[in-house]
């Protein structure tokens, strides 16, 4: 890959961790970003006790996950308390959309084929990228494995089998072939099956008049209706020639799952089910004409089918099907005006539409045109980056013979600055500010009964200051990073009461949130040990209703499910063919709603996970990887979301055979 320069200083986080040759290739594909993201890749990612992408992103600073429990339970991610709708998820450079409800269930994305997970605050601070990449308030980039053939090998193959608690059975196959010297093909299939059953325990205590702690009640149960059955198929072709690289990918995911319900008095089981079929094809082509001009083309078509059924005779019967379609095309272009000044222009087109068999369904369509202008200026030890995104969005729908149209025209800017005072670039200061919005989703706007067609976009304004330092001493490397930020969320779309019954809601642009936060990250690598520690402080206050400022009021209360303190630790030790990993997550006390009173209090939780890996080289042809993991070693009983119990201690073992 001689056409791509590797700028180590720009990607200092990477140098911390061991990099194999194929990881270097991943880095090589990447363009220069001003501010390095938080990354998990390679060995660290492979040896994590994580099944899905959601399990991995929990370890990043500033990230909060809403987990409804188990293998199949919904898992959504929120970066810096802005709400999961503000987070963009990109799979091999192209965004995974969900115009229907705006959030991507990261529990649906397997880590099996993923080489790197990166979280960016604000946006990826790169100018040469599709306009969509400028269009979120925070983003997660998932990079899948790319074929790499050592020596004369023309085929790589591997098979992996795992099983464990929750009656989990998971199997995957990978095949990579070199078609020509410049073209390779990769196929990957994965099947997951689990009953989703696990024991949980709910208990409450109180303190009597004499100060004794008394257990009021104590009960155990088995989580029901959490079964999942999922199949993922991926096919990719990668090619390069004449300064051009391209890839084509087809992705298919099919799942059938039960939706576990809230555990409330007398009702612990449910029979709701969800069937998903997600399909997309995407292609990407990047060409460098010379040192100064580069262009990138991206295109995607996706089709998502979702069938939801609630056959419970004690509840309202629901049986609905939703079909979501999207077509997307993008061009991004970069011109190096001089050694120190680059400009880029990108334009994206997307069309989304949603069909459903629901009564009075609005059949919404959305046409999005995005145009971004960005520039990069390097002035000695100061680098500046500015981007301006033009958003032109047209929505149309027709419900009850009433046609509605909605036009959104917005300009959203972002500015990044980086200052590296020393020659070796090991110390850097960075800052960014960005204003962005998220569109109301199709559900917000048109969902039969709750939708509100007069919704406006929901805004975020972010200010961030960061410092990074890389310390190397012999074989020891330490990276230190800290960020402080202030974010304002305005016109937040919230469900509010409608009419005379609590079963009726509507969506309104009424919320305001004031977020002040700080993050500290430490990474260190010694010859046999490496570790990563993260700490996040967040004061995310609900400032929606200044009149509700009484003792039991919501004004200036910490918003729902956001802890003030949270942190994580990842430690791994390697010795010859053995590796031992320890991971720890801590989420401090939280409240279910922004009235921060005892009724809404949720205690802190933390989990300790351990895993042991063994690499076995059988002969020159076959290699084995064995691993065994124990999660939640202390068997802690906790809820992430009120009344959705999480699993206690659980186990998983796996074997991979590679050729």
Partner 1 sequence: MEKRIHKLLLQWTLISAMLFVVAACRDDKELLMPETEDVDDITESRDLAGFYLLNEGNMGSNKATLDYFDFASGQYTRNIYAEANQTVVQELGDVGNDLNIYGSRLYAVINCSNFVEVMDVHTARHIGTIEVPNCRYMAFSGRYAYLTSYAGPVLISTDYKQIGYVAKIDTATLQVVATCNVGFQPDGIAVDADGGKIYVANSGGYMVPNYENTVSVIDIETFTEERRIEVVNNLHRLCIDSHKQLWVSSRGDYFEQPSRLYCVDLQTESLCDSVDVAVGSFWLDGDSLYVCSNEFSYETYDNTASYAIVDVKHHTVVTRNFITDGTDERIQVPYGICVNPLTKDIFVTDARNYVSPGVLYCFDKYGKKKWSVSTGDIPAHFALHYK
Ranges within 342-361 binding partner 1 (CB under 8 A) = 359-360
Residue ranges in 504-587 assigned as alpha helix (H): none
Closest by CA position to 591, among listed 538, 534, 635: 538
Residues 487-506 contacting partner 1, CB under 8 A: 496-506
Q: Which of 177, 321, 367, 636 binds partner 1 (CB under 8 A)?
A: 636
Q: Which of 547, 575, 576, 621 binds partner 1 (CB under 8 A)?
A: 547
Residue 150 or 217: the one with the smaller Cβ distance to partner 1 is: 217
CB atoms within 10 A of CB 483: 22
Minimum gap (Å) between residue 200 Cβ and partner 1: 13
Q: Is residue 450 at the binding interface for partner 1, with CB under 8 A as the rule?
A: no
Residues 466-485 contacting partner 1, CB under 8 A: 471, 473-474, 476, 478
Can you name the residues that pair with 485 across neighbouring β-strands?
Answer: 464, 517
Residues 304-333 contacting partner 1, CB under 8 A: 313-317, 319
Minimum gap (Å) between residue 53 Cβ and partner 1: 25
Residue 180 or 313: the one with the smaller Cβ distance to partner 1 is: 313
Residue 386: Cβ-neighbour burial (10 angstroms; 0-12, 13-18, 19+): middle
Q: Is residue 264 at the binding interface for partner 1, with CB under 8 A as the rule?
A: yes
How far is the CA of 319 from the CAs of 230, 258, 357, 487, in angstroms? Answer: 21, 14, 9, 40
Q: What is the rounded (10 degree) CA torsion for 632, 638, 639, 640?
A: -50
Q: CB–CB of 188/160 below 8 Å?
A: no
Minimum gap (Å) between residue 639 Cβ and partner 1: 9
* Tokens at 643, concatenated: 């009344």
- Alpha carbon distance 229, 190 (integer Å): 11
Minimum gap (Å) between residue 547 Cβ and partner 1: 7
Secondary structure E strands in 337-475: 341-356, 365-379, 382-399, 402-419, 427-438, 458-473
Residue 20 or 219: the one with the smaller Cβ distance to partner 1 is: 219
Minimum gap (Å) between residue 128 Cβ and partner 1: 37
Instruction: Candidates 49-57, 126-134, 411-419, 600-608: pick the segment binding partner 1 (CB under 8 A).
Output: 600-608
Q: Which of 266, 291, 380, 527 binds partner 1 (CB under 8 A)?
A: 266
Minimum gap (Å) between residue 522 Cβ and partner 1: 6
User: Where do we find the tokens 């989304």?
Assistant: 352
Minimum gap (Å) between residue 470 Cβ and partner 1: 12
- Alpha carbon distance 391, 398 (integer Å): 23
Minimum gap (Å) between residue 549 Cβ and partner 1: 12
Minimum gap (Å) between residue 9 Cβ and partner 1: 20
User: Where do we find the tokens 């989420």?
Assistant: 587
Q: Which of 293, 403, 603, 622 binds partner 1 (CB under 8 A)?
A: 603
- Alpha carbon distance 530, 478 (integer Å): 10
Helix (H, G, I), strand (E, B) or coil at 600: helix
Q: Which of 454, 578, 614, 659 binds partner 1 (CB under 8 A)?
A: 454
Instruction: Candidates 109-117, 189-197, 331-339, 631-639: pick the segment binding partner 1 (CB under 8 A).
Output: 631-639
Q: Which of 1, 157, 411, 634 binds partner 1 (CB under 8 A)?
A: 634
Residue 283 or 553: the one with the smaller Cβ distance to partner 1 is: 553
Q: Is residue 422 at the binding interface for partner 1, with CB under 8 A as the rule?
A: no
Residues 42-101 contacting partner 1, CB under 8 A: none
Residues 175-234 contacting partner 1, CB under 8 A: 202-206, 214-217, 219
CB atoms within 10 A of CB 576: 8
Q: What is the H or E stretch that residue 488 is in?
A: strand 476-497
Minimum gap (Å) between residue 436 Cβ and partner 1: 26
Q: CB–CB of 174/188 below 8 Å?
A: yes
Closest by CA position to 261, among listed 192, 193, 315, 320: 315
Residue 217 or 575: the one with the smaller Cβ distance to partner 1 is: 217
- Alpha carbon distance 453, 455 (integer Å): 6
- Alpha carbon distance 448, 250 (integer Å): 33
Can you name the residues that pair with 570 across neighbouring β-strands?
Answer: 532, 583
Q: Is residue 593 at the binding interface for partner 1, with CB under 8 A as the rule?
A: yes
Minimum gap (Å) between residue 85 Cβ and partner 1: 19
Q: Is residue 341 at the binding interface for partner 1, with CB under 8 A as the rule?
A: no
CB atoms within 10 A of CB 101: 18
Residue 302 or 594: the one with the smaller Cβ distance to partner 1 is: 594
């Amino acid at each position: 890959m001689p056409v791509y320069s590797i700028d180590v200083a720009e990607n200092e986080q990477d140098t911390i961790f061991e990099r194999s040759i194929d990881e270097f290739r991943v880095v090589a594909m990447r363009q220069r970003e001003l501010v390095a993201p938080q990354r998990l890749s390679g060995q660290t990612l492979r040896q994590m006790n994580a099944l899905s992408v959601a399990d991995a992103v929990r370890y990043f600073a500033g990230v909060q996950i809403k987990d409804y429990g188990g293998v199949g339970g919904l898992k959504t991610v929120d970066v810096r308390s802005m709400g999961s709708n503000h987070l963009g998820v990109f799979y091999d450079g192209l965004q995974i959309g969900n115009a229907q409800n705006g959030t991507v269930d990261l529990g649906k994305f397997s880590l099996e084929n993923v080489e790197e997970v990166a979280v960016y605050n604000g946006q990826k601070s790169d100018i040469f990228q599709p306009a969509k990449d400028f269009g979120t308030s925070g983003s997660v980039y998932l990079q899948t494995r790319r074929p790499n053939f050592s020596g004369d090998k023309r085929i790589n193959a591997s098979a992996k089998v795992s099983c464990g608690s929750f009656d989990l059975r998971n199997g995957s196959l990978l095949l990579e072939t070199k078609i020509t010297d410049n073209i390779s093909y990769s196929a990957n299939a994965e099947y997951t099956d689990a009953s989703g059953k696990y024991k949980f325990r709910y208990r409450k205590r109180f303190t009597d008049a004499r100060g004794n702690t008394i257990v009021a009640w104590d009960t155990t149960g088995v989580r029901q209706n959490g079964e999942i059955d999922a199949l993922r198929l991926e096919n990719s072709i990668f090619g390069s020639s004449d300064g051009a690289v391209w890839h084509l990918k087809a992705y298919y995911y099919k799942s059938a799952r039960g939706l576990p319900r809230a555990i409330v008095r007398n009702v612990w089981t449910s029979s709701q089910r969800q069937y998903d079929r997600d399909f997309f094809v995407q292609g990407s082509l990047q060409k460098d004409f010379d040192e100064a001009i580069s262009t990138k083309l991206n295109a995607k078509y996706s089709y998502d089918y979702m069938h939801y059924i609630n056959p419970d005779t004690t509840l309202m019967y629901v049986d609905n099907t939703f079909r979501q379609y999207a077509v997307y095309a993008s061009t991004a272009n970069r011109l190096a005006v001089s050694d120190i000044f680059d400009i880029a222009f990108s334009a994206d087109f997307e069309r989304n539409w949603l069909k459903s068999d629901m009564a009075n369904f609005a059949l919404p369509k959305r046409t999005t045109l995005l145009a971004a202008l960005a520039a990069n200026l390097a002035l000695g030890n100061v680098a500046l980056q500015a981007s301006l995104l033009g958003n032109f969005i047209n929505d149309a729908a027709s419900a009850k013979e009433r046609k509605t149209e909605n036009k959104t025209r917005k300009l959203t800017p972002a500015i990044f600055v980086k200052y590296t005072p020393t020659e070796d670039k090991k110390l850097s200061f960075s800052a960014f500010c960005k204003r962005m919005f998220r569109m109301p989703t199709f559900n917000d706007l048109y969902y039969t009964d709750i939708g509100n067609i007069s919704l406006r976009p929901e805004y975020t304004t972010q200010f961030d200051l960061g410092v990074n330092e890389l310390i190397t001493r012999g074989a020891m490397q330490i990276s230190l990073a800290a960020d402080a930020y202030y974010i304002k969320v305005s016109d937040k779309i919230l469900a509010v009461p409608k009419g005379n019954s609590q079963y009726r809601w509507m969506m309104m642009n009424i919320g305001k949130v004031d977020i002040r936060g700080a993050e500290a990250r430490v990474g260190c690598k010694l010859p046999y040990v490496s570790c990563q520690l993260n700490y996040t402080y967040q004061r995310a206050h609900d400032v929606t209703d200044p009149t509700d400022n009484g003792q039991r009021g919501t004004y200036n209360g910490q918003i729902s499910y956001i802890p003030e303190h949270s942190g994580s630790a990842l430690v791994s030790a390697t010795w010859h063919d053995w590796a031992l990993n320890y991971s720890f997550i801590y989420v401090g006390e939280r409240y279910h709603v922004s009235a921060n009173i005892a009724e809404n209090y949720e205690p802190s939780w933390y989990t300790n996970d351990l895993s042991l890996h063994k690499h076995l080289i059988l002969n020159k042809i076959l290699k084995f990887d064995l691993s065994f993991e124990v999660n939640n070693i202390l068997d802690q009983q906790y809820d992430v979301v009120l009344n959705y119990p999480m699993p206690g201690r659980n186990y998983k073992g796996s074997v991979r055979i590679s050729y």
